[in-house]
Structure 1
Amino acid sequence: MPRTKFLFVMTVLLASQLTLTAQKVQAVQNKPIPTELILEPWIVGSETAAQWKGLLPTVNAPNYRSKAYPGQHLTIAVGAQGKDRDLLLKEGTYDFTVEFGGASQSFRALHPAQSRRIKADGADFVKFVMKEAKVESSELDDAVSMVSLALFEVDWVVPADAKDGTAKIRGTVTSSTGKVAPLKERTVEIWSFDRVAKEGGFKDQKESNEWMMTYYQHPEPPRLLHALRLDKDNPASKQPNGIAFNVAVLKSSPLAAQDLLQRLKGEDRAVRGFALLLLSEAGYDLTSCLKTLPEEEQSWFAKAREAASALPDPYDLTPDASDPYKVTTRMDMLWSLFLVTGDQKPVRAVSQPLAWRDDWKVFTKMRDEYQKTGKRTNGITLELARAMAYGASGWSLGSFVRHHPLVTDFVDAWKQDATVPKVIQEELGTLITNPAFKRQ
């Protein structure tokens, strides 16, 4: 397609999107939604509280947890809609009870610990379109969120010895006038380790890869054994980022790690050896498992462990002219940590090379000179190593912003965070449009 025609088509699409957005804003203004609670509580991982800290008042919705495993931590959120929804949530007093396996745990007289306005589906894209078209978006800020979610200091832990079953969550809210209203019962399916071992497999490598790329949205540590069976002959799984992902999963759930250790005796030797190396890297004591193995295999493992290189520190992003891929390799590891935890820390580290914007300018000048004269530079310099890291940082952040709403929320917050260097803030605003952040 000729470029001019492509631009024309994009212009039409943008205009159409803006028209629809304007209609949506007008519709919201003409048909106000009554202020009321949404009676179905939202069940999420307890890590949501940490993920929300430092974010802007409006965020993307956390993923609902319909399934959980022994040792996992869950919490509860309640939503409301309408103009005064935030005040309505704040004024209420909430009681919750979680029932599972014949036992119950109650959480009484709670008030929201945090609350956020939740973006509608597609809101990030719509705001991006309006920004590119230089359209005032103050009205849109209200239109893209019609629901708020309040998060409570509830930490219910699935019992370590949990059998298959269903956890039931019930609750009530008491209004400021003393009126008590029941919330609708919600359920979470609990899978035992034995059930995961029998039914938790992947149909193919593609499904396993998709599980990995969205892991933090639905963490399932006991399924790691099934993934390792597929990965035993996959070279990518032996790369630092693949190892970092598996080790982070093992560290996140000591219960699942111990269950894996107990199941290895019946596994293929290649799977067992790979898993033992990962468990060792994660810091677990392997003595009990190794004693059950033939002496030949014990000897093999000892030699393999001694020969294996320790994982490098993913947060060491010091550029190295002798190893121009050092920083990009570490960034891949940082993304693996994010995919397991949903934590801001590794993503913020990935953004640090954006400060090397001037080195990219040096690189483009050298590139242009080469295209004119054919004269090459003498080897990789620190400037070139930093330029490579700058481009990789922007490209990977842009990719994750497109596919991971939580990363979009991180980036939106950092663009207004005074502790983030000005140059990084500026570059975060160009992740989608900067030519330097496109695959070369």
Structure 2
Amino acid sequence: MSDATVLLLGSGGREHALAWKLSQSPSVDRIICIPGNPGMASLGELRSVNVEDINAVVALATEVRPDLVVVGPEAPIAAGVSDALCDAGFLVFGPSRAAGRLEWDKDFAKSFMVRHGVPTASSKTFSAEEVDAAREYVKGHSLPVVLKANGLAAGKGVVIAESIEEALTTLDAMLSGSAFGDAGRSVVIEEFMYGEEASVFAVVDRTHYMLFAPSQDHKRIGDGDTGPNTGGMGAYAPAPIVSDERLQFIRERIVEPTIRGMREEGNPFHGCLFCGLMIGGDKGVRVVEFNSRFGDPETQVILPIWRGDLYKLFHAAASGTLSTVDQGTSVGSAVCVVMASGGYPGSYEKGKVIEGLDDVSADTVVFHAGTKRVGDDMVTNGGRVLGVTSVSSETDMEQTILRAYEEVSKITFDGAVWRHDIGARINTDRDTD
């Protein structure tokens, strides 16, 4: 496997981080990214292929004959790309469409958790045909109340309503299709969970699993967790709120029952199981949501501190031999600050020239998310533009945070926005039982 070829699907900061780590494996000779982004160009070849076009993806795989296909985003999983590649004889790190239902069908995920005793918030699901019943249910619900688009909404399909009026307006927008299209025509109405969110990622081979260091994402656009939800404005790892005791609970009550339950129900899961968790409050640890892929920007902090061979890990997970390979270890700390376009997560302009990328320090990795090469310039091409990750071999997170913001200050583009409080909860979390 010393001359392995990897086909990597996706174009965001998560995929840049995956390509970056895969490129460090002595086993990997060639990485082909579809469609990739300019930051990934130095790590592999970029091919302009739509990752949801099953025929096009299989055709490219047939041409390049990869030893392993890694599926980054959720959309191709929901589209059945993994299934088609497996049927064509390729080894794939990424779940089948049926197993990926844990992410693309939130109602299924909630009922699955109830069936298998996985702790989560109480909820009820309503379709567009049940709008009157849904409105009555909301009127009698305690506040705040959580409304989730049942389908995929790029990480932005959740609204926490502080008033009945806001909840009803949101409900109408979702069920009518005006908020999230078809993804919102079925809505999960859920009890609000108090506590701190954390992310735990399990690499699964249908039976066995390993865990990366726990991390914490920052979903809201504004400092102090204000403003609308985004795809994620920053992250850090490890997350001290996930104590050893809590991690054992997560293994025994969440990860293992989920892997076992999916296998028992005929849809064994292999790939990355993303456990989005709420920790604290009076209910302990509960699942906010499952995703069937790595998180963005959490991947940009868990991989830089993980010491191991990612290609061998993914290959073993896809092959069903995870228990036979070195599962690596996490050392030190990492902080990622996302630089976004002004106006995000709403409307924003593209094409702003990015400067200062060559000025960042050697212990910092800049992961591209929404960028484009135009002549000699790197310009903005998305809402989340860059993930600036500071990495330290030490566990002193405060210094890692300071370094991350020092590096952010070196990079400029017109209208750039970022949060100034990534990691601010760390000291509080350390004191939390």
Task: Give the TM-score band, short-chain normalised.
Answer: under 0.3
TM-score of the pair, normalised by structure 2: 0.23
Report the TM-score, using the length of structure 1 for normalisation: 0.23
Between Structure 1 and Structure 2, the one with more helix by share is 1
